[in-house]
């Protein structure tokens, strides 16, 4: 299916963009011929059409050339220690090439809008081209047979353009809405209301290599945002979200690592607490993504949850948890910073996003007794992240 096969879909995108580019070059040549042959009283029509084409297809044409250039030469141009070439940053160059350089402040909280921007810009360009086509149809008889030729060419060009928009939409939909770790069954899955979505670990901040680009929140540990998308995309795995000192009912972000199988089951039900534990019964969370590595016994899937701590008991020695009878959460302040908290009830968990490691260390998982998915594999729905080069953040 087209949605699951990232390479196939990407190849369609390349072909469709190439067809649209060739169609634009032919239309451009025809328009220039029109301009030279148009009579004085009708020259305004091809000029307006030319301007509309330059404002839409020509911009996409330039962006696509820049994209191909960055894809093949970007790694040489922007070495890992060189973020800028002249006054152009790597981030800006990729944004320009993917038509996502118009950014709103709200994208920091809702990074999935970046792809929607690209899609919207492409739709806008198609509307402009459609206006050019209508104008050409209306006035074709005013500037001779070549004008009619442009109108026919523009009509045919609309077909690949519409298909291109559909494939572009599927490309974006795949990563933000369709991706899930287990695709062995075609059954309709009903997810828990707290489950927001699965995302591949590759899009988290630390994993963003030259394929994905680096995106960082300037505020670092001082950032007050508790939006899960923001935390995952714009902060590092070692950013900590410990609760403050005094307030009850604080909303914090907690991290919990488990296996792909368990994560898939949790997404359909709820996070269940353990009956016992070293700071009491309940659901255990680390205060940063990295710290889950030291606390987990199942690996490969990271649950990033927004948690209401309720009434919190702070302890500095694990043996003190038994004094927290009337508290909703026990927060253990570890002397070396690897702190954690345990919430007593699943109802305290408001929402979560589950990150799936696409490239887990299988011998390590086997050694730790992690069960594979029902198909016998550890990763069943791999995302070919290179196909999303530069077009996300």
CA within 13 Å, CB half, 38 = 22
The token duo for 47 is 């000029």
For the chain, strand residue ranges (E) read 84-85, 88-89, 195-200, 251-258, 283-286, 301-308, 312-315, 329-332, 340-343, 349-356
Nearer to Zn ion, 270 or 290 (CB): 290
- Report, in Å, the least distance between residue 255 CB and Zn ion: 16
- The reply to whether 199 sits near Zn ion by the rule CB under 5 A is no
Distance CA 259, CA 277 (A): 19
- Report, in Å, the least distance between residue 144 CB and Zn ion: 59
Distance CA 44, CA 392 (A): 40
Bridge partners of residue 282, in order along the sequence: 274
Helix locations, 193-306, DSSP H: 228-234, 260-268, 292-295
CA within 13 Å, CB half, 259 = 18
Binding residues among 75-94 for Zn ion as defined by CB under 5 A: none
Nearer to Zn ion, 221 or 322 (CB): 221
Bridge partners of residue 301, in order along the sequence: 258, 356
Nearer to Zn ion, 61 or 241 (CB): 241
What mask, x for binding Zn ion by CB under 5 A, covers residues 159 to 198?
----------------------------------------
Reported as type and span, the H/E element at residue 77 is: helix 59-77
- Report, in Å, the least distance between residue 244 CB and Zn ion: 17
Nearer to Zn ion, 76 or 224 (CB): 224
Nearer to Zn ion, 66 or 223 (CB): 223
Binding residues among 300-359 for Zn ion as defined by CB under 5 A: none
Nearer to Zn ion, 164 or 203 (CB): 203
- Report, in Å, the least distance between residue 223 CB and Zn ion: 3
Binding residues among 201-240 for Zn ion as defined by CB under 5 A: 217, 219, 223, 225
- Report, in Å, the least distance between residue 108 CB and Zn ion: 7
The token duo for 311 is 């009434």
In angstroms, the first-to-last Cα distance of the chain is 27
- Report, in Å, the least distance between residue 225 CB and Zn ion: 5
- Report, in Å, the least distance between residue 234 CB and Zn ion: 5
Nearer to Zn ion, 206 or 359 (CB): 206
Give the binding site for Zn ion (CB under 5 A): 217, 219, 223, 225
């Amino acid at each position: 299916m087209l949605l699951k096969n990232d390479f196939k879909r990407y190849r369609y995108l390349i072909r469709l963009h190439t067809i649209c580019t060739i169609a634009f070059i032919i239309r451009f040549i025809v328009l220039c011929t029109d301009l030279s042959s148009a009579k004085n009283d009708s020259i305004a029509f091809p000029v307006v059409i030319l301007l509309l084409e330059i404002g839409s297809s020509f911009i996409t044409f330039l962006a696509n050339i820049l994209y191909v250039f960055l894809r093949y030469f970007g790694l040489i141009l922007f070495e890992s220690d060189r973020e800028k070439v002249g006054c152009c940053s790597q981030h800006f160059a990729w944004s320009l090439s993917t038509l996502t350089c118009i950014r709103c402040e709200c994208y920091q909280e809702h990074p999935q809008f970046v792809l929607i921007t690209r899609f919207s810009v492409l739709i806008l360009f198609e509307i402009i081209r459609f206006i050019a086509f209508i104008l050409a149809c209306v006035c074709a008889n005013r500037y001779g047979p070549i004008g009619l030729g442009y109108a026919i060419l523009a009509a045919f060009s609309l077909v690949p353009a519409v298909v291109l928009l559909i494939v572009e939409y599927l490309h974006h939909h795949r990563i933000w809405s369709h991706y899930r770790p287990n695709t062995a069954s075609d059954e309709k899955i009903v997810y828990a209301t707290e489950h927001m979505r699965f995302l591949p670990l590759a899009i988290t901040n630390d994993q963003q290599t030259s394929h994905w680009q680096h995106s960082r929140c300037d505020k670092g540990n001082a950032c007050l945002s508790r939006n899960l998308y923001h935390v995952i995309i714009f902060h590092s795995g070692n950013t900590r979200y410990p609760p403050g000192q005094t307030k009850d009912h604080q909303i914090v972000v907690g991290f919990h690592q488990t296996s792909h199988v368990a994560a898939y089951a949790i997404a359909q039900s709820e996070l269940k607490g353990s009956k016992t534990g070293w700071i009491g019964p309940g659901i255990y969370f680390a205060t940063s993504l990295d710290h889950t590595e030291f606390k987990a016994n199942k690996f490969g899937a990271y649950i990033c949850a927004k948690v209401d701590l309720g009434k919190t008991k702070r302890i500095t020695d694990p043996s003190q948890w038994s004094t927290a009878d009337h508290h909703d959460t026990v927060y253990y302040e570890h002397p070396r910073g690897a702190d954690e908290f345990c919430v007593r009830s699943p109802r305290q968990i408001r929402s979560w996003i589950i990150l799936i490691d696409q490239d887990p260390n299988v011998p390590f998982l086997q050694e730790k007794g992690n069960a594979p998915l029902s198909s016998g594999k550890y990763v069943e729905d791999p995302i070919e992240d290179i196909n999303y080069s530069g077009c996300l953040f």
